[in-house]
Amino acid sequence: MNVFSKEELIEKIITFLKIAKNGKYSYKKSINKLLAQKQYNSLNIKSKLELGKNNKNSWIGFFAYQQNYKKGIFPIIIYYKEEDIILIAYGVGEVNYPKVEWDVKKETIGEYFNYKNVQHKDSLIHSVYQLNSLIHSEIEQNKFIDALDEMIEIYHLTFENIPSLVEEEQVQYLVKETQSSKNKKNKKEQILKIAHNVELFISDKKISTIKNYLIHKKNIILQGPPGIGKTFVAKRIAESLSSLHPERIKMVQFHQSYSYEDFIQGIRPAEEGKKHFKIQDGIFLDFCKKAQKNINEAHFFIIDEINRGNLSKIFGELLMLIEADKRGEEWALKLTYSNTNETFFIPGNVHIIGTMNTADRSLALVDYALRRRFAFIHLMPQFKNKWIQHIKKQGVENSFAKKIANTLNQLNKIIKKDLGKGFLIGHSYFCDASPVQNNIQTQEEWYEQIIDLEIYPLLEEYWFHQEHKIQQNIKLLKSIIQK
């Protein structure tokens, strides 16, 4: 999906309005292509061109996830041919009453036209422009695009303030997609589990923030200390936004030997035992080509341990193309190993989720050129009520679960003060209490085994020249075990 700049958008809007005023039916197909599969300011653009003598109006709308012309709210540009004016309006769905409203007090289009028979009568007017002035005045065009940007900013803020709305809409959409499934009941439960963040232990607001960044920025990195479930969260987010279609999700783990040839394209032996080679697409290039064939559906590429690889070497010339505003065919580049005039671009429906361990001292800092192309989201340990309820369901007593949470929170305060927040102990070390549930171990034995086999080696790495600190903190952790 191509992303318009300000200049490109105003140019396309002017062309659209000129055709809406004087165009012929033969232009209709070409103008629809002009704005189809495009985005501006992280919103999907949709348009409808009305030609001929009727009371319908041509319009261009800008839509967030799960919002459309029939329901929800959206910024909209409407051309009223009879009056020869253009309105920028706070659009309101005409079929279903929206679950969220614009937090503005403005005159409705119905009021503006004195309630005569017009479309979009419930939408609220932001500003009014004369077509002739808008077409011929650059100053007027700048005012127009600034007004549109102002409304889009309000639009984004509206949805950031109600994260649960997106989740509710999403669940309904996902459940609808699975109506024909044989395992409809199980599928529905799985969808609801994902959408309501079961087992993620983080707030709906945090999940909504992650999803918003991913949809708008296209690329995010989930970073944090060990054991906070970064990879698990990445998978859950991808499953949720891909409507549980595994073919739209691909995962890879970077390491020090990982190369451009593995990721993008390289030369490989053609057949076993034969002395000739062929150009072979890497996993990311292959994934992007599949996404190009299904442009209306979001695809998610997960890179686990993204900072373990040599990022500039692995991404090569694609370092530029992963930017949100460099997606689309117009940014296509010739690849290093291409022996033809073949070019490649990353489509707008590909979203990249990276994970990064902030406690691994052996890893280099992320390249600044890559850093600005990703939104970095810090995840923290969640020894809170959701986690307590999770291990209680596996047979751990409520009082003991609270003791674990309190003790780990105490240790994390010590670690944060001494080493920084990037070295905290995560909750996922203590998420699988199945040995307790299956009566293989007591809750004390299960807890002590995790301390001895997983937490102790980690603390040795943290304080490798300070044995007294290691022993002091192990003693703190084991103080809740009654011998």
Lookup: tokens for 76: 């909209």
Structure tokens at 264: 């993008």
* Residue 212 and residue 232 share a domain: yes
Boundary of a domain, candidates 363, 378, 393: 378
* Residues 357 and 219 reside in one and the same domain: yes
Measured distance CA(422)–CA(378) in Å, rounded:
9
Distance CA 351, CA 301 (A): 6
**Is 144 within the bounds of a domain?**
yes
Tokens of 195: 């959408």
The strand ranges marked E within 299-379 are 299-304, 333-334, 343-344, 350-357, 375-378
CB atoms within 10 A of CB 35: 22
In a domain, residue 483? The reply is no
In a domain, 315, yes or no: yes
- Tell me if 24 sits within 8 A of 43, measured CB to CB: no
Q: Tell me which amino acid residue 23 is.
A: G
Helix (H, G, I), strand (E, B) or coil at 268: strand
Number of structural domains (the chain) is: 4
Same domain? 219 vs 324: yes
CATH number of the domain bearing residue 254: 3.40.50.300
How far, CA to CA in Å, does 408 sit from each of 74, 228, 246, 386, 387? 46, 13, 36, 15, 12
Residues 217 and 363 in one domain: yes
Do 96 and 118 fall within a single domain? yes
Per residue in 53-89, is it b (16+ CB within 10 Å) or e — as a string?
eeeebbbbbbbbbebebebbbbbbbbbbbeeeebbbb
Residues 270 and 355 in one domain: yes
Domain limits at 431?
385-478
| Rounded Cα–Cα distance for residues 335 and 337 (Å) | 6
Q: Does residue 142 lie in a domain region? A: yes
What letters, b where the CB count within 10 A reaches 16 and e where it falls short, cover 169-189?
bbbeebeeebeeeeeeeebbe
Query: Tens-digit pLDDT profile for the chain (483 aa)?
Result: 567 888 888 988 998 888 888 766 555 566 666 777 778 877 888 888 877 655 578 899 998 766 677 777 889 999 988 888 999 999 888 766 556 678 778 889 988 888 677 788 888 999 999 999 999 998 999 999 989 988 888 887 766 544 444 444 444 444 444 444 445 445 444 544 444 454 678 877 788 788 888 888 889 999 999 899 899 899 888 888 877 688 899 999 998 889 988 998 888 777 665 667 778 888 999 999 999 988 888 899 999 998 888 888 888 888 888 888 888 888 888 888 877 777 889 998 999 999 998 887 555 555 666 777 888 888 999 999 889 988 998 999 999 999 999 999 999 999 999 998 889 999 999 998 888 888 889 999 999 999 999 999 999 999 988 999 999 999 999 999 876
Residues 169 and 157 in one domain: no
Helix H or strand E segment including 25: none
User: Are 18 and 144 found together in one domain?
Assistant: yes
Task: Please answer whether residues 224 and 198 qualify as being in contact, where contact means their C-beta atoms are separated by less than 8 angstroms.
Answer: no
- Please tell me whether residues 454 and 436 are part of one structural domain: yes
The residue assigned the tokens 């580049």 is 333
Please check whether residue 171 lies inside any domain of the structure.
Answer: yes
Same domain, yes or no, for 105 and 226? Answer: no
Give the alpha-carbon dihedral of 71, 73, 74, 75, to 10 degrees.
Answer: 130
> Residue 337, class by beta-carbon neighbours within 10 Å (0-12 exposed, 13-18 middle, 19+ buried)?
middle
**Paired residues of 60 in beta bridges:** 47, 77
Let me know if residue 170 belongs to a domain: yes
366 and 243, same structural domain? yes
How far apart, in whole angstroms, are the C-alpha atoms of residue 68 and residue 343? Answer: 34
**Does residue 231 belong to any structural domain of this protein?**
yes
Whole-angstrom Cα distance, residue 133 to residue 175?
A: 48
Q: What's 56's domain CATH number?
A: 3.30.920.90
Name the 3-class secondary structure at 113: coil
Sign of CA dihedral 329, 331, 334, 340: positive
For residues 408 and 455, membership in a common domain is answered with yes
What does the block give as tokens for 108? 């409705």
Residue 188: inside a domain: yes
Is the pTM value of this prediction over 0.75? no
Q: How far apart (Å, rounded) are the C-alpha atoms in residues 387 and 199? A: 8
